[in-house]
């Protein structure tokens, strides 16, 4: 990986080294495949659409309910997307296999 002066993501590689990069760079380099990873979308990031439906992230990975009636955050989101399809805000949410 390369070092970025302007970054909004911290990536830890298989050797435990941390790299600070910009979310768009991850997407542009096709490093945004999180299929099967645990994701904090639904716990620390939500998307509310025009019908007030609440989703885990802009990618709408999981439906959490409706903001006008009943919804609750989710702590066990597993990514169902081949690439992070939402936006760079979804990319900066913590993703991990094991903690």
Answer whether 0.85 is exceeded by the pTM: no
Per-residue pLDDT of the chain (99 residues; tens, 9 = 90+): 566 677 888 888 889 898 888 888 888 888 888 899 999 999 999 999 999 999 999 989 999 999 999 999 998 899 998 888 756 788 888 888 865
Separation between Cα atoms, residue 67 and residue 81, nearest integer Å: 24
Sign of CA dihedral 75, 87, 64, 66: positive
* CA-CA-CA-CA dihedral for 9, 79, 64, 11, to nearest 10: -10
pLDDT given for residue 4 in this prediction: 64
Q: Where are the domains of the chain?
A: 9-96
């Amino acid at each position: 990986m390369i070092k970025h002066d302007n970054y909004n993501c911290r990536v830890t590689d298989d050797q435990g080294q941390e790299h600070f990069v910009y979310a768009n760079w991850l997407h542009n380099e096709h490093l945004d495949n999180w299929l099967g990873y645990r994701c904090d979308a639904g716990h620390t990031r939500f998307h509310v659409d025009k019908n007030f439906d609440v989703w885990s992230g802009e990618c709408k990975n999981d439906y959490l309910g409706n903001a006008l009636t009943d919804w609750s955050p989710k702590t066990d989101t597993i990514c169902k997307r081949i690439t992070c399809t939402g936006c760079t805000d979804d990319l900066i949410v913590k993703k991990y296999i094991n903690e």
